[in-house]
Amino acid sequence: MTQVELIALAYQFGLAVAFLILSAAGLAVIFGMMGIVNMAHGELIMIGAYGTSIANRHGLPLVLAALCGVLASTATGVLLERTVIRRFYDRPSESLVMTWAIGLFISQAALIVFGPSLPSISSPLGSVAFGGFSLSIYGLLLIAFGLAVPVAIYLLLSTTTFGLHARATMQNVEVARAIGINSGSVYSATFALGAGLAGLAGALYAPTMSAVPNMGGSFIVQAFVTVVTGGGNLVYGTLPAAAGLGLVQTALTAVFGNLVGVLGLLAAVIVSAKLFPNGLAHRLSGKRFS
């Protein structure tokens, strides 16, 4: 294998890992902290992409438009948490059904309001040629974001007061409450953060795919797969899980094609669920957050 081919393959691998991390980040934060499986995750991603696309069409530069997308999904997250989600904190399976219904509502409402698709944004930044193979600069940016998001969340949790309160709430809600932490507002902030991260994924991938109401579906499987494999911790769980799954998918896709890549991904999940029933994070760190 020549050097060019090797770099091309590494680039594919990076893209696959970044996709897994970015699509899973919001889900992992909410699941890890609150034990809630947010089935409306894909629709929050869709809101992020729609916000970006609409703001961009109204003349905002892409960076600001992406910010609008993230704000839109965060606002939706806050609204959902205030009205519905907070009633379901200690009922994981009801919350799953509930968030599924919310997701269905959002995607169908988007279909009614915005029609079957939005005009697509052109991919920015162009590409660099590399020995007969061209790397998209935007793709490299996505890879950078994929690495930056877990690091940023890690710093948020380990250095800020919010992080301290969040970790305390997660370890033991009763004790956290007893020493004066407002667990309700920690949960609200966590859900908003998760929704915002979902929106970020949508905003970042908006220029690379067509904006349709059920576009969340193309993220959600990978997101679940990564969170199930990794557990709720972004640094100890999502990152290594995404790396492992990305490797499996890239290798299988390169050799056998796309279908075997996706099926291999799902098979890897089942095997890993058997090997690490509590998620990789549990195995790597001994607890869910360090």
Binding site for another protein (CB under 8 A): 31, 35, 37, 39, 84, 87, 90-94, 96-98, 100-102, 104-105, 108-109, 111-112, 174, 217, 220-221, 224-225, 227-228, 259, 262-263, 266-267, 269-270, 273-274, 277-278
In 35-131, alpha helices (H): 41-57, 62-83, 92-114
3-state helix, strand, coil in the chain (%, to 5): 80, 5, 20
In whole angstroms, the minimum distance from the beta carbon of 217 to another protein comes to 6
Report in angstroms how near the CB of residue 167 gets to another protein at its nearest.
Answer: 14
175 versus 255: smaller Cβ distance to another protein: 175
Q: Which two tokens stand for residue 198?
A: 């979902």
C-beta neighbour count of 162 within 10 angstroms? 15
- The smaller minimum CB distance to another protein, of residues 56 and 233, is found at 233
Rounded to whole angstroms, how far apart are CA atoms 246 and 13? 6
* Least Cβ distance, residue 42 to another protein (angstroms): 8
Direct distance between the N- and C-terminal alpha carbons of the chain, in angstroms, rounded to an integer: 41
CB of 106 to another protein, least distance (A): 9
Separation of alpha carbons 280 and 196, rounded Å:
24
Q: Based on CB atoms, which residue is closest to another protein, 60 or 78?
A: 78
Structure tokens at 200: 């970020």
Nearer to another protein among residue 37 and residue 65 (C-beta): 37
